Amino acid sequence: MPEQRLPIPYSALPSSLIDAVRVPIDTYIIKVASRCNLNCTYCYGDESYQLQPYRMSSATVLAFLSRVASYCLEEHLQEILFIFHGGEPLLAGKDFFREFVTVASASLGIQVKPTYALETNGTLLTSEWLDLFRELDISFGISLDGPAAINDRNRVNHAGAGSYSKVRRALDAVLADRRLDQLFGGVLTVINLAAEPLDLYHHWREIGIRRCDFLLPDGTYDNLPPGLSPDGLQTPYADWLIEIFDEWFKKEDTTLSIRIFENIIKLLFDPEAGNDALGGGQSGLLVVETDGGMEPLDVLKICGSEFTKLGLNVARNEIREVHSADLMHLYQLGATGICNTCRACPVVAVCGGGYLPHRYSSRCGFANPSVYCRDLMKLITHVRDRVLAAIPQHTCQKLRLRTLSYEEALVLRVPGELTGGRPDAKP
């Protein structure tokens, strides 16, 4: 296993802090299928999935749910969330999901209420699958990156053919069935800087999408996302998102919910509204691979081959054992584990240091600002100023909120230092 270069050694933390940041596991990302029928260009570089079973077996499901039931009893948890993931989870087949829900009901009893969600690429989605989601009460989202000309640059199958037409057929069926309104969580879109942002925004509105989110492409200091350079001075992703935000905010567009913008606005007024990607919220999430391996956040795979492997498996380990793993503990630290540069930043209450995987470098571990540091700062200050301009001045004064330009934020972040976004070796 590669050295993980944690910014704060787990053994060096006082027990009071360890207890304070230990978050009970209440969300499980279940890798029900390790393979995918698409071959997206930006997918994880980690190849360990090739050593995994193609599908989670019945024996692994039984062992996993038994561990979950015991853990819920230990932690006095009454509600948990299962998120079916992959690969492409629909490759597991309909019988797998019926079996899983049946075994979960038997294992958890009436003491624990499970909720089910699923993320699919949509290419295999049929009316029969939609009937199954309604039958089992599984909410779901669909991944799509925009119109065909944009989506099909990256979201292709193993023969290189685009996926838009198949996903669009599935989307049309979903949007036409109002019985699915409460189950369909919307569209997840990875930002492609080559796309005209307003073209994508208008496309979503034209086809009837009511909820969406824009995701920053995964990257680290060792493998920068497209459009970013080592000096960290550019803000292409903020510029791209700001075009959509301005149009969405100006129109007071209540027909389309855009999660990243809504989360930033919430965090301006409620710092406790953060999650693991924005706001530095602490997360009780655990990934379970098809072979039963228990791992922290799956996006951490971008940090290196087998980076997330803890050597723990539901076949032989209790779920509580993940709390002793350094990487799991670091993930659960949230904003508590950010570097000194981030602590001094005037937008840290909203940014939270950014997504943990995006802070990684082989030189400094996670003791860096996000590779998207300047993008996040520019986007947050822009949203903040637009929102505050729409609020009566006396209300802003009462809330002790004032406008803060991107340039002001840069100066306040590190006085006299305007070259942010570089590794910071001080935890």
Integer Cα distance of 306 and 291 in angstroms: 14
Task: Kindly report the length of the chain.
Answer: 427
Enclosing H/E stretch for 342:
helix 340-343
Tokens representing 292?
A: 């039963």
Enclosing H/E stretch for 15:
helix 15-21
Strands 294-295 and 79-85: unpaired
- The residue with tokens 């015991």 is 70
Per-residue confidence in pLDDT tens, the chain, 427 aa: 444 555 555 445 555 555 667 899 999 999 999 988 888 888 765 677 778 889 999 999 999 999 999 999 999 999 999 999 989 999 999 999 999 999 999 999 999 999 999 999 999 999 999 999 999 999 999 999 999 999 989 998 899 998 999 999 999 999 999 999 999 999 999 999 999 999 999 999 999 999 999 999 999 999 999 999 988 889 999 999 999 999 999 988 889 999 999 999 999 988 888 888 898 888 999 999 999 999 999 999 999 888 999 999 999 999 999 999 989 988 998 888 888 889 989 999 999 999 999 999 999 999 999 999 999 999 999 999 999 988 888 887 887 778 888 888 888 875 433 333 444 433 3
Tokens representing 216?
A: 């920053």
Alpha-carbon 405 to chain mean position: 27
CA atoms within 13 A on the CB side of 270: 8
Enclosing H/E stretch for 345:
none
| Spans of all domains in the chain | 10-337, 343-413
Query: CA–CA distance from 97 to each of 60, 81, 89, 172 (Å)?
Result: 14, 15, 10, 24
CATH architecture of 10-337: Alpha-Beta Barrel (3.20)
- Cβ pair 336, 21 in contact under 8 A: yes
Query: CA–CA distance from 10 to each of 80, 109, 306 (Å)?
Result: 27, 36, 20
Tokens representing 330?
A: 């670091």
**What is the per-residue DSSP string for 328-395?**
HHHHHHGGGG--HHHHT-TTHHHHTT--GGGG-BTTTBT-S--TTHHHHHHHHHHHHHHHHHTS-HHH
- Cβ pair 383, 265 in contact under 8 A: yes
Helix (H, G, I), strand (E, B) or coil at 346: coil
Integer Cα distance of 335 and 213 in angstroms: 22
Q: What is the DSSP letter of 247?
A: H
Strands 79-85 and 257-258: unpaired
Rounded-to-5 percentages of helix, strand, coil across the chain: 45, 15, 40
- Cβ pair 124, 97 in contact under 8 A: no
Can you state the angle between helices 373-389 and 259-269, rounded to 10 degrees? 70
